[in-house]
Structure 1
Amino acid sequence: MTEAVYDKLEDGTFAGRIPPCPGVIAFGKTLRECENELRSTLEEWILLGLKLKHSLPVLGGIDLNEEPRHKSLGAL
């Protein structure tokens, strides 16, 4: 959410988007409502991208494209 950009529209409502994530946009009557909608939209966008094996942008230093590293049970 650190890369979110918000705009106040002419009617007093808000629009939010995350530029590195195409199509992640939300609207709300208040800035807080817009932020909550944007967070929800981003979560759904990430989940769909993971399911479809799309390459996702690195956001907030988190790279969801990396394969998980597993430690052997002997190391625990």
Structure 2
Amino acid sequence: MLLEYIQTALARAKYDIIEDDEEPYYGEISELEGVWATGTSLEECRKNLEEIIGEWLILRLRRNLPIPPLGNFKNCDHR
């Protein structure tokens, strides 16, 4: 289930290129507060973003915080 949530989140990611930056590729998922990543390529940015989503989910679960609904994941209240 966590992998499906991560894949759903990645499908909603928005990417930008930041000129004159060491890691010019920037990606974020606006529905997940604080979830963003950078990379030297789009592929690296996406991989970094995938890792961040996983860490973000673990942190929210450990702190008993709600997981925002995404796509088919409507009821993500684990409390």
TM range (shorter): 0.7 to 0.9
Shift of 1:3: 1.0
Shift of 1:65: 1.9
TM-score (norm 1): 0.78
Larger RCO (CA under 8 A, 6+ residues apart)? 2
Gapped regions of structure 2 (runs ≥ 5):
1-9
Percent pairwise identity: 33
More helix by share: 2
Pair member with larger Rg: 1
CA RMSD of superposed structures (Å): 1.7
TM-score (norm 2): 0.75
Stretches of 4+ aligned residues off by more than 4 angstroms = none
Gapped regions of structure 1 (runs ≥ 5):
68-76
Alignment pair present for 1:59 and 2:70? yes
